[in-house]
Amino acid sequence: PTIGNIMASRWAYEALTVAQFKDNEYEKRFFEFDKKMSFANWKKDQWESNLDTKLTNFYRISQSKSPLHSEIDKSKRDGQIIVNEIRKEVKNFNSSNLFSSDKLEELLSTIENNDMQKKDYLQLHNYLTSIRDYYMNQYNEASNKKDKILISEIAPSKSLINKLKDFKKNKEISPKEYRSYKSLMSYLKKYRFQEYKNKYNNHSLEDFVTNSNSLSFITENETGLIQKSDPIYLDPIGKKYFGSHFYSPSKYFLDYKFDTFNANIIVIWLMTLLLTITLYFDVLRKILENFTEIFSIFKSKTN
């Protein structure tokens, strides 16, 4: 809201909250993977299924001989959302190469002109499926990279395992002792890593910035779908500097991407500079005097 954007405390709170979550010693190692997984998960589970449902309903109503007025209104709204969302997807992510841009626009025009045929419906359905498959691959890729780091943290090192194997081979330790030592090393590394995670991971803060207490993952307005889950992992692509959602990890200005902490500090300094200039030139007093004078003139005229 506009009233929030003029409050310095709003910018300071967001800057500190976002920085404490994503830049702490634990999370900063996994943040990019978690962000990619979160976005891909929302796209394939919420966005794609929602659009596919709207597409099916749109086609069903377009083929109906006597649809209700409420169904027609909903169909128009759903059709516009489908068109807007697919165009945004092509512009910002280009997640599917199933059709050329001209072919895709031809398919979208069947929605805008309300003359969709079955073959058009099936092609758009396949297009959405290809996007879902793309994000499934994106999720798996990020998950595998994160798992490699986690395994390296909790599994005993190869050099240590090889050393234990040599001891067992030379009969310096028994097979039973080998298994015991190996299990002990695994336990100690897991325990150490968990302690490391607990030291930096703030569960209450995580609940706030991921909106995990809400059961709403997606909502919509007249023009498109809106992600409600994991705001800390969602880059405000296509949003203006002051239009970014709360807890966004970054902000865009003139197509340049800025970290939220740095961006918010700049805003606070600009507010400070503006207030300093205002006080130095006594702007507030002059405004109040002029306002009082104008109010007096207006009051005298009304009387």
Give every CB contact of residue 20 below 8 A, 6+ residues apart in sequence: 202, 205
* Entry pTM: 0.86
> pLDDT digit string (tens) for 91-127?
999 899 999 999 999 999 999 999 999 999 999 999 9
Distance (Å, whole) CA 40 – CA 130: 13
Q: Is residue 299 part of a domain?
A: no
Beta strand 256-259 with 218-220 is unpaired
Distance (Å, whole) CA 206 – CA 227: 17
Q: Is residue 171 part of a domain?
A: no
Q: Is residue 172 part of a domain?
A: no
Q: Is residue 10 part of a domain?
A: no
Number of structural domains found in the chain: 1
Has residue 241 got a pLDDT over 90? no
Q: Is residue 239 part of a domain?
A: no
Residue 288 has phi, psi (to 5 degrees) of -65, -40
Encoded amino acid at 9, one letter: S
Q: Is residue 127 part of a domain?
A: yes
Q: Is residue 187 part of a domain?
A: no
Q: Which domain holds residue 101?
A: 29-151
Cα distances from 254 to residues 85, 140, 251, in angstroms, run 23, 33, 10
**pLDDT computed for residue 130 by the predictor:** 97
| pLDDT band for position 243 (cuts 50, 70, 90) | confident
Q: Is residue 14 part of a domain?
A: no
Has residue 224 got a pLDDT over 90? yes
